[in-house]
Copies of this chain bind each other. A is one copy, B any other.
């Protein structure tokens, strides 16, 4: 389970955008949060690809929520923003190399799955609505 600044910035952005009446461009948002503009832009683009945000080009363009806060869960947000490293235990005992040589390691898999399940359901049930209301 790896959580980087990308997830953090994504959540901050969603909070700000949830109270915005019009699309907000990435530069304004980055100044609002005092973070890197171009890094934030990539994060917003990832959220837009996931249909969590909608992007508007041209004058008065920017990003706006594309779903209601209750439809936006943190697991989806983090997973799409973290890209290749979603909220899972990915290192250590890989399932593939489990049965054969490393029998001694296999026995921790059930525990990891259990932990992963608890974390995932916590994040999946935590929506933007829970935060801003």
- Give the interface of A toward B (CB within 8 A): 1-5, 7-9, 11-12, 15-16, 19, 32-35, 89, 91-93, 102, 104-105, 107-108, 111-112, 114-115, 118, 122, 126, 130-132
- The closest CB in chain B to the CB of A90 belongs to B8
- Asked whether A104 and B15 contact (CB < 8 A) given A2-B4, A3-B2, A118-B130, the answer is no
- Asked whether A8 and B111 contact (CB < 8 A) given A3-B3, A105-B33, the answer is no
- Interfacial chain B residues near A118, Cβ < 8 Å: 126, 130-131
Select one of B2, B3, B15, B112 contacting A108, CB under 8 A.
Answer: B15
- Interfacial chain B residues near A107, Cβ < 8 Å: 19
Q: Is the interface of A mostly helix, strand, loop or mixed?
A: helix
- Interfacial chain B residues near A16, Cβ < 8 Å: 108
Q: How far, in whole Å, are A107 and B32 apart by their CA atoms in the complex?
A: 11
- Interfacial chain B residues near A8, Cβ < 8 Å: 1-2, 89, 91-92
